[in-house]
Amino acid sequence: MQGRRLATTDEVIAIVSPDAGGALGRLETWCTDRGIGLSTVDVGDDIAAVYDENRATLGVTLGGDGTFLEGIKTFAPRNVPMLGIDLGTLSFLARVDPDDMEAALDEAIQGRSRVDSRQQLAIEAPGIDTTGINDVMLEHVPPESPIGRKVTTLDVAVDDEYVGEFEGTGLAVSTPTGSTGVSLSANGPLHYPANNYALQLIPLQTHALGVRPIVCAPTAEIHVQPAGETSLTVDGGREHTVLEPTDDVLITGAETRAHIVRTSYGYGFFTAITKKLGWSIREPEADPPAGFSRLGETRPESILERARRIAIEAAHSAAEPLRELHGRVEDITYKSDKSDIVTEADHQANRIISTVIANEFPDHAIVSEESRGGSGADEWAAVRPAGDANVPDGATPDTERRLKGTEAPVPDDATPSEPSYTWVVDPFDGTGNFAHGNPNYAVSIALVSDEEPVLGVVHVPETDETFSAIAGEGAYADGTPLGTTDRSKLDESMLLSGYDPDGSFLTRFYQEARGVRRLGCAALHLCYLASGSADAIWEYDTYPWDVAAGIVIAHEAGATITDADGSEYPFAVERDGRAPLLGSNGLLHDRLLDHLDGAPGD
């Protein structure tokens, strides 16, 4: 999950330990001051009565690691990110000191925190069907007689391959998060847990020197069968059952992962294990040696470099709810409500992007297709400073203040904003494709300076591709430079067509070119021209939000872009009526213009 998504937080749900009194009072004050809703639930209680999936929710735990684990059990299935406030004594997971709670929360709702993904285990066995964040322990049941057998024999297979027979005290199956517990005590490897999804099998007090830990992919299906009565516990006893001989246990990576909010106010993993476990190769607060790369130490960014970074983060954040809702489009339960899902997707993506930009560039203007209020250019939203950005219906007072730029000031070392900058956003290009379960839709974000697009970012949620460009600095797809094709023969070329109302473009070029395709997403058409996946594109009908980002990307990749007459494409943030667009690798352009003569839009 992208930390920028937290900038639209409406609601906090806190799971509270019995001794959280003072911290809870401060949390209540913090939420009230910022107009954010707060619901509290005691450890172990269900949040169903207070959770609303339509509100952007941040989970908070007030307690130690036990409370944090209850938070994971509660929030992870609902895809809710959570921040742990450490009220315990030996916390590896909840790492924010109570004195830093308000500052950490502010950083989170300003979208400046990081959200780490943590792998969970899914466990199925007779009498148990659950998930765990740390480990599964399979151990011998103590014999009634002091001379009874104290050894457990476990047959293990991974996917379709038999691993062998483990004989000893038992077996632990651990996640990276759980690697600092029983696994570490049994000489298993220590895993850095953030965004690490490996599973590991750790033999406990084995009777064979050659038995070593095994690391598996999260998709691996680990089957365990005990030879005798065996105890199975999950996460230190939060779930427990006793297995009978030959019972089958299936352990694999859970489909849902836990999302942990990490701020600059929480101590890091290696600091945690140094403080708690005596990690002996550094002091708890040790700084890196001189010249060593350290967090946050980068060369100064220009305003366009910073804008590209923020735009990419905003696009990735907006893509998350789009992917989630896209998966529901073809669900039979929702087929009658497709238009509602599309509207919700458009609204959520626009809200995330607008909030992130307003927080970081409060003096910039923002215009977007979603906020224009209609389907034609006459309804195009007035250009306005980000501080006056549209506030979504039903937004909390704090969300409104944040959208108006009265909170979350730009960091002291940030490059000052220029009032001539305007962000042009299409939060959701390709709604028709989305509504039919087609993956060809994109998030498009551009920055315009004095009516000239100078930055473009296009992100494709379903393929996780990100195209970006800064004027004069080249175009890239996930760090790889882009360039147009060098084909000069029309009959060897692949063309992409946008809206073609009477089929004129298809008629003129179908026999002349190798093929004509239509993806239904202008932003993608321009990016595929830039990447060489197409040699030319034609758009009968464009508006600024359709093409602002793609134009920068295509231009920087070497494309030629004109109107239907070969004149400069008439980009303007505010423009009445449509504008046709012809883009090519340059070598084909004159030939294309010749064939367009007489076509609609000439």
DSSP 178-224: GGGTHHHHTTPPP---TT---EEEEEES-S-TT---EEE-TT--EEE
**Residue 588 dihedral angles phi and psi, to the nearest 5°:** -95, -5
For the cut 60, the answer to whether the pLDDT of residue 392 exceeds it is no
* Model pLDDT, residue 484: 97
- Is residue 298 very low, low, confident or very high in pLDDT (cuts 50, 70, 90)? low
Binding site listing: 65-66, 134-135, 150, 369, 426, 429, 546
Could you give the count of Cα atoms lying within 13 Å of 443 in the half-sphere of its Cβ? Answer: 33
The angle subtended at Cα 316 by Cα 36 and Cα 535, nearest 5°, is 150
Residue 26's SS3 state is helix
**Cβ contact 246:224 at 8 Å:** no
* Model pLDDT, residue 388: 44
Q: Which of 43-57, 376-390, 431-445 has the lowest mean pLDDT?
A: 376-390
Residues 147, 288: Cα–Cα separation, whole Å? 55
* Model pLDDT, residue 599: 46
> What percent of the chain stands above pLDDT 70?
85
For the cut 70, the answer to whether the pLDDT of residue 406 exceeds it is no
* pTM score of the predicted model: 0.81
- Strand ordering across the sheet containing 214-216: 214-216, 199-204, 170-174, 135-140, 230-234, 239-243
- Is residue 389 very low, low, confident or very high in pLDDT (cuts 50, 70, 90)? very low
The angle subtended at Cα 348 by Cα 479 and Cα 49, nearest 5°, is 125
Mean pLDDT along residues 569-578: 82
Look-up: residue for tokens 């591709």?
465
Residue 85's SS3 state is strand
Residues 221, 127: Cα–Cα separation, whole Å? 19
For the cut 80, the answer to whether the pLDDT of residue 297 exceeds it is no
Q: Which of 163-172, 229-238, 369-378, 584-593 has the lowest mean pLDDT?
A: 369-378
For the cut 70, the answer to whether the pLDDT of residue 598 exceeds it is no
Provide the sign of the torsion angle of the four alpha carbons 276, 278, 284, 290, taken in this order: negative
pLDDT (tens digit, 9 = 90+) per residue, 19-33? 898 999 999 999 999
Residues 388, 349: Cα–Cα separation, whole Å? 18
**Cβ contact 505:516 at 8 Å:** yes
Tokens coding 321: 């709810």
Mean pLDDT along residues 341-346: 84
More confident residue, 573 or 424: 424
pLDDT (tens digit, 9 = 90+) per residue, 414-473? 454 454 899 999 998 998 898 888 999 999 999 999 889 999 999 999 999 999 999 999
**Cβ contact 260:115 at 8 Å:** yes
Counting every residue written for the chain, the total comes to 602
Mean pLDDT along residues 51-60: 94
Residues 395, 464: Cα–Cα separation, whole Å? 29
List, by residue number, the catalytic residues: 65
* Model pLDDT, residue 376: 38
Binding site listing for NAD(+): 65-66, 134-135, 150
**Residue 183 dihedral angles phi and psi, to the nearest 5°:** -55, -45
β-pair type (230-234, 579-584): unpaired
**Cβ contact 5:317 at 8 Å:** yes
Mean pLDDT along residues 379-394: 43
* Model pLDDT, residue 371: 58
For the cut 70, the answer to whether the pLDDT of residue 503 exceeds it is yes
pLDDT (tens digit, 9 = 90+) per residue, 233-282? 999 888 999 999 989 999 999 999 999 999 999 888 888 888 878 877 87
Binding site listing for Mg(2+): 369, 426, 429, 546
Q: Which of 216-225, 318-327, 330-339, 444-453 has the lowest mean pLDDT?
A: 330-339
Amino acid 29 reads T
> 101-109 vs 21-33: helix axis angle to the nearest 10?
40
Tokens coding 121: 């285990």
- Is residue 332 very low, low, confident or very high in pLDDT (cuts 50, 70, 90)? very low
For the cut 70, the answer to whether the pLDDT of residue 526 exceeds it is yes
Question: Average pLDDT, whole number, for the chain?
Answer: 86
Q: What is the DSSP letter of 96?
A: B
Tokens coding 129: 């069907």
**Cβ contact 460:475 at 8 Å:** no
DSSP secondary structure letters along 251-287: EEE-SS-EEEEE-TTB--HHHHHHHHH--TTS-TTPP
* Model pLDDT, residue 390: 42
More confident residue, 541 or 405: 541
**Alpha helical stretches, state H, 404-485:** 431-435
* Rounded CA Rg of the chain: 28
Mean pLDDT along residues 352-376: 80
pLDDT (tens digit, 9 = 90+) per residue, 107-119? 999 999 999 999 9
DSSP secondary structure letters along 334-376: GGGGHHHHHHHHHHHHHHHHHHHHHHH-TTSEEEESGGG-SSS
Q: Which of 37-46, 59-68, 140-149, 170-179 has the lowest mean pLDDT?
A: 140-149
For the cut 70, the answer to whether the pLDDT of residue 207 exceeds it is yes
For the cut 70, the answer to whether the pLDDT of residue 147 exceeds it is no
* Model pLDDT, residue 401: 40
Tokens coding 502: 């009477």
For the cut 60, the answer to whether the pLDDT of residue 133 exceeds it is yes
* Model pLDDT, residue 431: 87
DSSP secondary structure letters along 505-539: HHHHHTTTSSEEE--S-HHHHHHHHHHTS-SEEEE
**CA 193 to each of CA 120, 354, 587: distance values in angstroms, whole numbers, following the listed order:** 11, 32, 51
* Model pLDDT, residue 292: 59
Task: Give all domains of the chain, ordered by start, each with its CATH number.
Answer: 3-116+260-266 (3.40.50.10330), 121-253 (2.60.200.30), 303-480 (3.30.540.10), 490-596 (3.40.190.80)
* Model pLDDT, residue 286: 77
